[in-house]
Amino acid sequence: METLLKSLGDEKRCEIIRLVWSRELPAATIAAHFPDVTRSAISQHLGVLRRADLVHERREGPRRLYSANQGELARVRAFVDSFWTSSLEKLKLVAEAAANESGEVQ
């Protein structure tokens, strides 16, 4: 999980995930979305995402096409959601305890 989170720790990589979330795109099209970044740098970002299994790469002749690995990204979401759920459960317990205390006082 650490590798996945580190891979998503860069805003350009997160933007790449957004770009390929619902459609497969060639590397050149992805790079065109980042005019201030070299194609080589985008290629490196795609490599990080691919090695973390956050994107799928498919070769079509000389082109490389990328799409989001939604299954792996769902794992990341479940991991992050587990913190949220745990915090909500604790908040609920605290709120119930406070309500019980205030009910006893009245």
CATH code of the domain in which 28 resides: 1.10.10.10
**Residue 30 belongs to what domain range?**
2-80
The pLDDT score that the predictor gives to residue 80 is 84
pLDDT at 106 over 50: no
Which one, of 22, 25, 29, lies nearest residue 73 by Cα? 22
The pLDDT score that the predictor gives to residue 105 is 44
Q: What is the pLDDT of residues 12-57, one digit of tens each?
A: 999 999 999 999 999 999 999 999 999 999 999 999 999 999 999 9
Label residue 59 exposed, middle or buried (CB < 10 Å: 0-12, 13-18, 19+).
exposed
Q: Is residue 66 situated within a structural domain?
A: yes
State the total domains in the chain: 1
Q: Is residue 104 situated within a structural domain?
A: no
Which one, of 1, 16, 32, 33, lies nearest residue 67 by Cα? 16
What are the DSSP calls for 69-99, one per residue?
-HHHHHHHHHHHHHHHHHHHHHHHHHHHHHH
Q: Is residue 97 situated within a structural domain?
A: no
Which one, of 45, 54, 68, 71, lies nearest residue 5 by Cα? 54
Q: Is residue 99 situated within a structural domain?
A: no
